């Protein structure tokens, strides 16, 4: 789906995708959700993560992975 949204599918793959989408309510709903998520993510300002928070997050992920 992301390749479809990025315009990265070949013409034949895009045609197959479009054909599938015509008959699949679940995929159409998922594609709509992806479009919304991408639009919302584009609105989020890119701000640096403070160093103390960065260290805390890295430690949390290390612990999570080890567990």
Number of domains in the chain: 1
The pLDDT tens digits for 37-53 are 999 888 887 788 899 99
Whole-number percent of the chain with pLDDT over 90? 72
Stretch 50-59: mean pLDDT:
93
Domain that residue 18 falls in: 2-66
Q: Are 44 and 12 in contact (CB under 8 A)?
A: no
Nearest to 31 by CA among 18, 12, 41: 18
Any idea what the CATH number is for the domain that residue 33 is in? 1.10.10
17 contacts 9 by C-beta, under 8 angstroms: yes
């Amino acid at each position: 789906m992301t390749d479809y949204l990025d315009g990265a599918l070949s013409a034949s793959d895009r045609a197959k995708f479009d054909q599938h989408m015509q008959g699949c309510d679940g995929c159409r709903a998922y594609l709509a959700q992806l479009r919304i998520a991408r639009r919302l993510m584009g609105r989020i300002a890119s701000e640096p993560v403070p160093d103390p928070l960065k260290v805390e997050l890295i430690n949390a992920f290390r612990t999570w992975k080890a567990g």
